[in-house]
């Protein structure tokens, strides 16, 4: 069935919760393994029905935010959400304490219960009010930044509306755009500082109530990091500092020469090429046709996947009036199909959707029959490995998307990914400092960020901009407010994807087989174990990054410099 023909009906929330609770009673009292497993399956069936309807409503709501019907449906789901969280919590508790736990783990692996344990560790009725306070503060931040009105050359823009100007070919435009953007943040500094200060305080209070000194271990548990910790993060960041930073500094020097600017300022960083960034050769119809051809040639698995996506209309790609911003991939558990949502706008980001989001979707499609579906819950560093690696496995087809801009695309894709690593590390180190020293004042925090920033991003010359000189840059990174410690994951996934890139150039067949295996492992193994299982080196291990960099350098050197201007 096509997505547009799927029937939506609001679930009867009361009835579903009563049914699940009844099944949970039976699960708790199960007199045999058979009853236990059978009941578990029934709970999943009900949950899937709920999730399918949620996803349909969510997708249709984002496709047309002006459609009041789905707007109301989403409100109903959000209202019912906490009640479903409660039954989830009950389910997890039963699973941890059941005499059939061992049998369960033997049958389905130990990741589900390992995650249950993490969730148990970070939950206590005494922190409920603190969590409410936390989400109110997060909302305050999102509302404040979401409602930003930035005056620029006689027009009023929001934050994302400024992006195009900060990348403009004209230097004065970029400079003024950045000044306007940071001017808004500077004007709201007190508020941004206050919200974050209160967030740090309330999170620390939560940690204390749960018996921890700081929030750091709580955040790691919430991120479901089963087999890596703060020590791993530190060792990993050190590799970035020692190996990546010297290389990216060299890349910035080359950029400076390429764009012909002697006094390279922070507002020059977004301009990679004087001729502008690589542009795709066409709009949705052309790009999807090329993607079909590409996935057909890449492997039988990707061919089947992409054909199903097209046939079932599981994509809504081009931007239009009323569509929600951004892009995402999600999954419909009854239809057993992924869905891709995006806002094609004629930039190279359009092609990224067909490689990156499609990478997520491909993994979801491959594992559509996994039971229990909780074995498909993946930590972000692994999920992003699936998607970021697909960006590299599809490299050989990029000429069909970028035409004469292909070499520029290659260069930009690799250097951009490399340059992201130090920034990601700076955000992570900053958060560690913040939560390990919760009594720092807002000014001390900003000074700390500037100090860290100078280590990882020494090329940044803020040209006397007071707000940035005083360490305000992180306030634009919503993860810092919304999801503590959620950021290093992206860089870890990037390092994994680089490994696949290098491997793919050496031996495509072997690299692709390993990638398929990683997709199938899904959430069944913890990060380090999963990587080891498929023959990737752990990014946390000293030497992993040092081994990759010279290979990427060689690749960049092999590109036709005449075409990269």
Q: What is the largest CA-CA distance in the chain?
A: 77
Torsion sign across C-alpha atoms 547, 379, 195, 75: positive
Please identify which residue in 342, 387, 400, 496 interacts with Zn ion, judged by CB under 5 A: 387
Asked if 491 interacts with Zn ion (CB under 5 A), we say no
Position of tokens 């992570």? 428
Least distance to Zn ion, CB of residue 238, Å:
26
Q: Specify burial of residue 186 (Cβ count, 10 A radius: 0-12, 13-18, 19+).
A: middle
Q: Which of residues 29-48 bind Zn ion (CB under 5 A)?
A: none
Measured CA to CA, the distance from residue 61 to residue 58 in angstroms comes to: 5
> At its nearest, how many Å lie between Zn ion and the CB of residue 328?
9
Q: Quick one: which of 338, 318, 256, 246 has its CA closest to 553?
A: 246
Nearer to Zn ion among residue 363 and residue 544 (C-beta)? 363
Whole-number Å distance between alpha carbons of 270 and 177: 12
Cα 383 from Cα 16, distance rounded (Å): 30
What x-and-dash track marks residues 335-374 binding Zn ion by CB under 5 A?
A: ----------------------------------------
Long-range contacts formed by 341-344: CB under 8 A, 24+ apart: 341/59, 341/62, 341/63, 341/315, 341/316, 341/317, 342/315, 342/316, 342/317, 343/317, 343/318, 343/319, 344/283, 344/284, 344/287, 344/317, 344/318, 344/319
Closest to Zn ion by CB, 267 vs 341, is 341
207 or 418: CB nearest Zn ion = 418
CB of 354 to Zn ion, least distance (A): 13
Give the nearer residue to Zn ion in terms of CB position, either 73 or 384: 384
Q: Quick count: other Cβ atoms within 10 Å of Cβ 293?
A: 14
Stretch that binds Zn ion, among 231-239, 384-392, 492-500, 521-529 (CB under 5 A): 384-392
Stretch that binds Zn ion, among 240-248, 386-394, 512-520, 544-552 (CB under 5 A): 386-394
When the beta carbons of 355 and 475 are compared against Zn ion, the nearer one is 355
Instruction: Give the residue from 343, 349, 336 showing the smallest Cα distance to 376.
Output: 336
525 vs 412: CA distance, rounded Å? 33
Strand partners, 317: none
Instruction: Give the shortest CB-301-to-Zn ion separation in angstroms.
Output: 19
Which region, judged by CB under 5 A, interacts with Zn ion, from 188-196, 247-255, 387-395, 476-484?
387-395
The site that binds Zn ion (CB under 5 A) totals a number of residues, namely 1
User: Which residue has the closest beta carbon to Zn ion?
Assistant: 387
Binding mask 495-514 for Zn ion (x = CB under 5 A): --------------------
Closest distance between Zn ion and the C-beta of residue 223, in Å? Answer: 15
Q: What's the min distance (Å) between Cβ of 512 and Zn ion?
A: 20
- Pairing of the two strands 328-332 and 337-344: antiparallel
Task: Tell me which stretch binds Zn ion (CB under 5 A): 95-103, 104-112, 281-289, 385-393.
Answer: 385-393
Residues at the site binding Zn ion, with contacts judged by CB under 5 A:
387
């Amino acid at each position: 069935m096509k997505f547009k023909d799927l029937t939506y009906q609001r679930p009867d929330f009361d009835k579903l919760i009563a049914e699940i609770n009844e099944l949970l009673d039976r699960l708790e009292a199960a007199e045999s393994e058979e009853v236990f497993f059978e009941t578990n399956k029934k709970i999943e069936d009900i949950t899937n029905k709920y999730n399918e309807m949620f996803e349909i409503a969510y997708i249709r709501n984002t496709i047309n935010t002006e459609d009041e019907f789905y707007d109301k449906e989403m409100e109903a789901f959000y209202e019912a959400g906490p009640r479903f969280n409660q039954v989830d919590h009950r389910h997890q508790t039963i699973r941890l304490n059941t005499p059939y736990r061992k049998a369960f783990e033997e049958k389905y692996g130990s990741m589900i219960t390992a995650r249950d344990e993490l969730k148990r560790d970070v939950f206590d009725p005494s922190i409920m009010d603190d969590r409410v306070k936390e989400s109110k503060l997060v909302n305050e931040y999102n509302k404040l930044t979401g409602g930003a009105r930035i005056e620029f050359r006689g027009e009023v823009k929001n934050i994302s509306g400024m992006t195009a100007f900060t990348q403009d070919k004209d230097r004065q435009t970029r400079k003024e755009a950045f000044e306007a953007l940071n001017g808004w943040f500077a004007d709201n500094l007190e508020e941004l500082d206050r919200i974050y200060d209160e967030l740090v305080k309330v999170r620390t209070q939560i940690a204390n109530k749960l018996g921890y000194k700081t929030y750091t271990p709580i955040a790691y548990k919430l991120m479901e990091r089963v087999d890596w910790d703060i020590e791993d993060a530190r060792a990993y960041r050190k590799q970035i500092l020692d190996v990546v930073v010297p290389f990216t500094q060299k890349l910035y020097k080359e950029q400076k020469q390429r764009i012909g600017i002697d006094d390279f300022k922070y507002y020059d960083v977004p301009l990679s090429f004087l001729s502008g960034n690589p542009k795709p050769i066409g709009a949705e119809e052309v790009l999807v046709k090329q993607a079909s051809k590409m996935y057909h040639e890449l492997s039988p698995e990707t061919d089947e996947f992409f054909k199903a996506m097209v046939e079932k209309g599981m994509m809504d790609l081009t931007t239009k009036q009323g569509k929600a911003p951004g892009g995402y991939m999600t999954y419909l558990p009854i239809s057993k199909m992924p869905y891709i949502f995006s806002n094609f706008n004629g930039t190279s980001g359009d092609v990224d959707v067909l490689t990156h989001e499609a990478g997520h979707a491909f993994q979801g499609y491959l594992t559509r029959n996994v039971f229990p579906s909780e074995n498909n819950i993946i930590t972000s560093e692994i999920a992003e490995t699936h998607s970021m690696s697909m960006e590299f496995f599809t490299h050989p087809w990029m000429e069909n998307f970028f035409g004469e801009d292909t070499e520029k695309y290659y260069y930009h894709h690799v250097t951009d990914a490399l340059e992201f690593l130090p920034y990601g590390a700076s955000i992570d180190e900053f958060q560690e400092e913040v939560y390990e020293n919760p009594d720092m004042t807002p000014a001390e925090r900003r000074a700390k960020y500037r100090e860290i920033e100078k280590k990882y991003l020494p090329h940044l010359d803020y040209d006397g901009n007071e707000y940035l000189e005083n360490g305000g840059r992180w306030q634009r990174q919503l993860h810092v407010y919304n999801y503590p410690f959620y950021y290093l994951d992206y860089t870890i996934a990037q390092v994994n994807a680089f490994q696949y890139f290098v491997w793919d150039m050496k031996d495509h067949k072997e690299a692709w087989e390993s990638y398929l295996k990683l997709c199938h492992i899904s959430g069944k193994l913890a990060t380090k174990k999963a990587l080891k299982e498929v023959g990737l080196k752990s990014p946390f291990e000293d030497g992993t990054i040092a081994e990759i960099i010279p290979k990427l350098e060689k690749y960049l050197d092999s590109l036709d410099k005449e075409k990269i201007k």
